[in-house]
Chain A
């Protein structure tokens, strides 16, 4: 039944050690989004893919990268995590840019 799946649900990494978060979807949606959500804050969009077209938000740090090898999967790579990158990372999908977004359960990242 799960439509937007995120793995792992909890990730612990060390300061400066690269980490990759995974998102997959069974909806065959064209658009996939990555959001960062810190405690008691709204989700903040990092970037999104419309099919293979990558769109980076202007204030997304270079430390954050993304890959979308096919329609179903999208990855978030954090090259050198800092303590300030500890957050919940949310993946979302939509059929197109004007349609509603469906969120996954999130991956909570802890940086030691």
Chain B
């Protein structure tokens, strides 16, 4: 089955800095890669996703890049703000009607004012 590795497990940055979280996946047949943000005591919220037919996607301060050859994808947050502090999960899914999401172990991002 699919295996997703996520790094780092914790990341501390100063407000205004950029933050980068990286994930690698094992199954080259995976073609959908979402990122979720989970605040304390809440359910995960989808913040951005990318499919394998594109290499990069941006949404305001958030961007995701995908390298299918190397089987890794990354989340980039620019101009970080304290409200960006949360746990971020990456995930991958195979291109199959019966496949489900495989999550990474999460990254706790702390943005200090």
| Distance (whole angstroms) from the CB of B112 to the closest CB of chain A | 21
Give residues 87-109 of B contacting A (CB, 8 Å): 89, 97-101, 103-106
Please state if A106 and B49 are interface contacts (CB–CB under 8 Å): no
Given A41-B105, A97-B97, A100-B49, residue A105 in contact with residue B43 (CB < 8 A)? yes
Please state if A102 and B46 are interface contacts (CB–CB under 8 Å): yes
Please state if B49 and A45 are interface contacts (CB–CB under 8 Å): no
Please state if A100 and B34 are interface contacts (CB–CB under 8 Å): yes
Given A45-B100, A97-B97, A101-B101, residue A106 in contact with residue B43 (CB < 8 A)? yes
Number of cross-chain contacts by CB at 8 Å: 46
Interfacial chain B residues near A98, Cβ < 8 Å: 32, 97
**Binary contact track A74-107/B, C-beta < 8 Å → 1, others 0:** 0000000000000000101000011011111110
Interfacial chain A residues near B32, Cβ < 8 Å: 98
How extensive is the interface on chain A, given as a class?
Answer: 20 to 34
Given A90-B43, A103-B44, A106-B43, residue A43 in contact with residue B97 (CB < 8 A)? no
Q: Which residues of A are interface residues toward B (Cβ below 8 A)? A: 4, 6, 33, 40-43, 45, 48, 55, 90, 92, 97-98, 100-106, 108
Can you name 14 extra interface pairs (CB under 8 A) apart from A45-B101, A103-B44?
A4-B43, A41-B106, A42-B104, A42-B105, A42-B106, A43-B44, A48-B100, A97-B97, A97-B99, A98-B97, A101-B101, A103-B46, A105-B42, A108-B41
Q: Which residues of B are interface residues toward A (Cβ below 8 A)? A: 32, 34, 36, 41-46, 49, 89, 97-101, 103-106
Top 6 closest pairs, chain A to chain B, by CB:
A103-B43, A42-B103, A106-B43, A103-B44, A105-B43, A104-B43
